[in-house]
């Protein structure tokens, strides 16, 4: 490889880093947000049941997937410090990024065999897909201060999200065509399952191929990693020691500490909304027929992705004009309004409107949160540990958010009540962001 390509701040290196969003965002769209939630709900409806006996008890379908999601993020929060400790000392974080990329991609292929009869196998593939996506994504995030200068980070972060939305929409459109007209793709009813559901299973395979295939461009250009200086002792558990070190440094970095507190709270709500939005729409909106439900949900996700490209760009420009923290406060206020509005959603048009609003703020808050954290970091080469701390905080928040959402939905018998509950986190996020000092 031409060593010039790995020069910090070079256009080709920045593009290669951002391109991983193009590769892996198909998972977050097709699997986490669009096709899989529809397929999951259709399995239960076709079987005429609303709950399944699993893990020693009867659990309704919505809380079940929420609890499995929480378990996956507990695992992610535990494994990330281990990986960061090893990667920092061996200087090979790209190797770990590849491993979890391939684990996630192959797990997507494994979802082809997801069925109520093979519920444990299916849930394991769903679990490992989440692990592969989020861990490889976290490692890619940790490269940001290594490959971009502070003045470049907002722009390249937004570029990554925009590429991710564009690429994932392209694959989703293809998957939508397969689901709506499976016969044109040679997909026919196999006797045990409709052609529409079979097309959804093929879409899971397409995600794995896309993810692994396009990630090769990123892997070709990213540096192997940066080997940490000093003796290599206690490598396995050193990541947890490094998190303790990060925590100690946060005592002196007041701006970073307060920002992380705010991020923990509002990110908990953002990620929960993104993970359960389609399950909410599938269960709570009056679509009519099954085909109208499938089409409506996929169109809603497309609306989110297309608008999110604009949202990420507008948020980056707003941050340049009024600052990152002020922009995040405004975006959190918009999220709060969306949660209140979501309680009253009934018709498909209501859901489409909510989808457009979510798209406007979804990409912006993710891209800006990532670059704001990177800007507030102290001068250090130990970026993996700091981003590991960032990601552990995010994942613990997701565990709490998805568990509480599932609990509130199961306890009250309605997912609507849980949307108001999430809105409280955005309100608290605004309060905590207001406490972040404007200057160091």
Q: What is the mean pLDDT of each run of 10 residues along the chain (440 residues)?
A: 58 87 89 85 81 74 80 86 71 87 96 89 94 90 79 78 82 88 86 85 95 93 69 60 71 81 89 80 80 82 80 83 90 92 88 88 80 77 67 80 77 76 90 84
Q: What pLDDT, on the 0 to 100 scale, is given for residue 300? A: 85
Is 20 within the bounds of a domain?
Answer: yes
Contact 34, 298 (CB under 8 A): yes
pLDDT of residue 421: 81
Domain for residue 309, yes or no? yes
pLDDT at 1: 39
Per the domain annotation, does 439 fall within a domain?
no
Number of structural domains the chain divides into: 1
CATH number at residue 413: 1.20.1250.20
- Residue 1 in any domain: the answer is no
pLDDT at residue 248, as a whole number = 75
Residue 327 inside a domain? The answer is yes
Q: How far apart are CA 336 and CA 339, in angstroms?
A: 5
| pLDDT confidence of residue 4 | 43
Domain of 346?
7-224+235-434
- The whole-model pTM stands at 0.74
Contact 69, 402 (CB under 8 A): yes
Calpha distance 195→185 (Å, rounded): 10
Q: State residue 208's pLDDT score.
A: 96
Dist CA 206 CA 264 (whole Å): 33
Determine whether 280 is exposed, middle or buried from the number of CB atoms within 10 Å of its CB (0-12, 13-18, 19+). buried
State the Cα–Cα distance between residues 211 and 26, nearest whole angstrom: 7
């Amino acid at each position: 490889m031409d060593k010039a390509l790995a020069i910090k701040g070079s256009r080709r290196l920045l593009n290669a880093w951002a391109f991983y969003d193009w590769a892996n965002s198909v998972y977050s769209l097709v699997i986490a947000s669009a096709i899989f939630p529809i397929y999951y709900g259709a399995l239960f409806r076709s079987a005429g049941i609303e709950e399944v006996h699993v893990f020693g008890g009867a659990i309704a379908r919505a809380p079940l997937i929420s609890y499995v999601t929480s378990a996956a993020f507990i695992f992610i929060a535990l494994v990330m410090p281990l990986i960061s400790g090893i990667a920092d000392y061996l200087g090979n974080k790209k190797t770990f990024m590849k491993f979890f990329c391939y684990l996630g991609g192959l797990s997507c292929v494994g979802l082809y065999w997801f069925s109520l009869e093979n519920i444990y196998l299916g849930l394991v593939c769903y679990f490992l897909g989440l692990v592969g996506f989020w861990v490889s994504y976290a490692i890619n995030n940790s490269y940001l201060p290594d490959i971009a200068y502070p003045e470049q980070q907002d722009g390249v972060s937004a570029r990554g999200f925009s590429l991710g939305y564009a690429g994932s929409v392209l694959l989703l459109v293809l998957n939508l065509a397969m689901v709506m007209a499976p016969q044109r793709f040679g997909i026919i009813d196999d006797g045990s399952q409709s052609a529409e559901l079979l097309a959804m299973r093929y879409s899971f395979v397409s995600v794995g191929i896309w993810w692994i295939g396009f990630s090769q461009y990123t892997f070709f250009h990213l540096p192997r990693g940066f080997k940490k200086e000093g003796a290599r002792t206690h490598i396995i558990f050193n990541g947890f020691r490094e998190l303790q070190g990060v925590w100690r440094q946060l005592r002196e970095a007041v701006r970073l500490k307060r920002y992380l507190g705010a991020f923990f709270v509002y990110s908990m709500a953002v990620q929960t909304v993104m993970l359960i939005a389609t399950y909410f729409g599938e269960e709570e909106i009056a679509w009519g027929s099954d085909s109208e439900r499938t089409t409506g949900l996929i169109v809603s996700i497309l609306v989110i992705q297309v608008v999110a490209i604009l949202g990420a760009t507008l948020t980056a420009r707003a941050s340049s004009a009024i600052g990152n923290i002020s922009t995040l406060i405004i975006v959190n206020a918009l999220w709060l309004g969306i949660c209140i509005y979501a309680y009253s959603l009934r018709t498909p048009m209501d859901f489409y409107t909510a989808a457009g609003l979510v798209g406007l703020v979804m990409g912006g808050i993710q891209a800006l949160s990532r670059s704001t954290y990177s800007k507030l970091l102290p001068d250090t080469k130990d970026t993996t540990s700091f981003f590991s701390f960032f990601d552990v905080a995010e994942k613990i928040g997701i565990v709490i958010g998805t568990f509480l959402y599932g609990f509130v939905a199961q306890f009250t018998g309605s997912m609507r009540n849980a949307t108001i509950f999430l809105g409280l986190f955005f309100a608290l996020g605004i309060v905590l962001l207001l406490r972040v000092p404007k200057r160091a």
